[in-house]
Amino acid sequence: MRVLDIHPHIITTDTDQYPRAPLGGNQSTWSQDRPTTTEVLLSAMDEAGVAKAAIVQSSTCYGFDNSYVADAVAAHPDRFTGVFSVDMLADDAPERIRYWVGRKLTGLRLFTAGSTMAGQASWLADPKSFPAWRCAAELGIPVCVQMRPAGISQLQVLLDEFPHVPIIIDHFMGTPLENGPPYAESDVLFGLVKFPNIYLKLTPVVINHARKGKATPESFVSRVISEFGASRIAWGSNYPATAGTLKELLQDTQSVLRGASESDREWIFHKTSESLYPALKSHAK
């Protein structure tokens, strides 16, 4: 089965050409401990059997300087597209979006919560960001949002304002799972089913989170598929932010999805990714 990865990262040790500039000034531990160059990612993809990837900007290492991702895409357009980040509140945000799209990056990502950021950022739905959102809508690019359930009211504002922009929720927004089925504490996630422009990114972060308490990855992912449909779910490895080889991370997800239909697996492992990032289609150059 064709496999695409829409959430790997790359980090180089060349800090002269690609200086560190992490958001908030705090570099993530994983990006310090597990630098992964373009060449290392390609080798890992070949070993794992991953055909192509949408490399996600490492915001906790490079901030809004997407140069390393853009250079990787330029060097290997047959294997990569890229997902960039910009300061959505900056006056020149639309100009920066157009610049990075001009460098063949095909998706935008907003980092509003994570390992280096305590709590949920309050700027997600700031009206100052709307010109940037309108630019994304005009260009027809999807927007990834890394967030927590605490940001759901802000997400609702964006869904009302920009109903035609594909919005991809990274790591299922980290909803509580420990109490297990029927996962009532994740109602904030399942409530997004009614918005057809919402997509979910299934990553090892989700799977490992679902191994706590009474939860199991199989029961949780099965419910998510039944609610959203596989055509709104895409796999991302989170490599190397999640420890392990790319091959191991892929095999773990494949094991969790053993009980899913072949059609559902096809959507999760490549068809949804191709719909979000057409550059990943097999005939794309």
pLDDT per residue as tens digits for the range 6-44: 999 999 999 999 999 998 888 999 999 999 999 999 999
Give the chain's mean pLDDT: 96
pLDDT at residue 134, rounded to an integer: 98
Task: Answer with the residue of higher pLDDT: 119 or 129.
Answer: 129
pLDDT at 123: 93
pLDDT tens-digit readout, 46-57: 999 999 999 999
| Helix residue spans in the chain (DSSP H) | 29-33, 38-48, 59-62, 67-75, 93-102, 130-139, 152-161, 187-190, 204-209, 217-228, 246-256, 262-266, 272-276
pLDDT confidence of residue 117:
76
In the predicted model, what is the mean pLDDT of residues 185-191? 96
What's the rounded Cα separation, in Å, for the pair 45 and 88? 32
Those residues whose C-beta lies under 8 Å from the C-beta of residue 187, and which sit 6 or more positions away, are none
Handedness of CA 257, 262, 266, 267 (dihedral sign): negative
Instruction: Kindly state the percentage of the chain with pLDDT values over 90.
Output: 94
pLDDT confidence of residue 285: 41
The pLDDT-based confidence of 114 (bands split at 50, 70, 90) is confident
DSSP string, 207-269: HHHTTSTT--HHHHHHHHHHHH-GGGEEE---TTTSSS-HHHHHHHHHHHTTTS-HHHHHIII
* Mean pLDDT, residues 188-205: 97
Distance CA 225, CA 168 (A): 15
**What's the whole-number mean pLDDT along residues 224-234?**
98
69 pLDDT exceeds 70?
A: yes
Distances (CA, A) of 94 to 100, 116, 200, 201: 10, 26, 25, 25
Res 279 pLDDT > 70 = yes
Is 4-280 a CATH 2.40.50.140 domain?
A: no
Structure token digits, residue 77:
């357009």
Q: Are 83 and 108 in contact (CB under 8 A)?
A: yes
Helix (H, G, I), strand (E, B) or coil at 155: helix
What are the residue ranges spanned by the domains of the chain? 4-280
Q: Which helix (H) or strand (E) holds 81?
A: strand 80-84
Share of the chain above pLDDT 70, in %: 99
Quick one: pLDDT band at residue 119, thresholds 50, 70, 90?
confident
Cα-based distances in Å from 45 to 3, 80, 211, 233 = 10, 11, 26, 20
CB 68 within 8 A of CB 62: yes
Reported as type and span, the H/E element at residue 83 is strand 80-84
In this prediction, residues 83-106 reach a mean pLDDT of 98
Q: Find the mean pLDDT for residues 73-91.
A: 98
Sign of dihedral through CA atoms 103, 108, 111, 115? Answer: negative
User: How crowded is the C-beta side of 158, counted as CA atoms within 13 Å?
Assistant: 30
Q: What is the pLDDT of residue 24?
A: 85
Q: Over 70: is that where the pLDDT of 188 sits?
A: yes
Residues 3, 241: Cα–Cα separation, whole Å: 19
pLDDT in the model for residue 68: 98
Q: What pLDDT, on the 0 to 100 scale, is given for residue 284?
A: 46
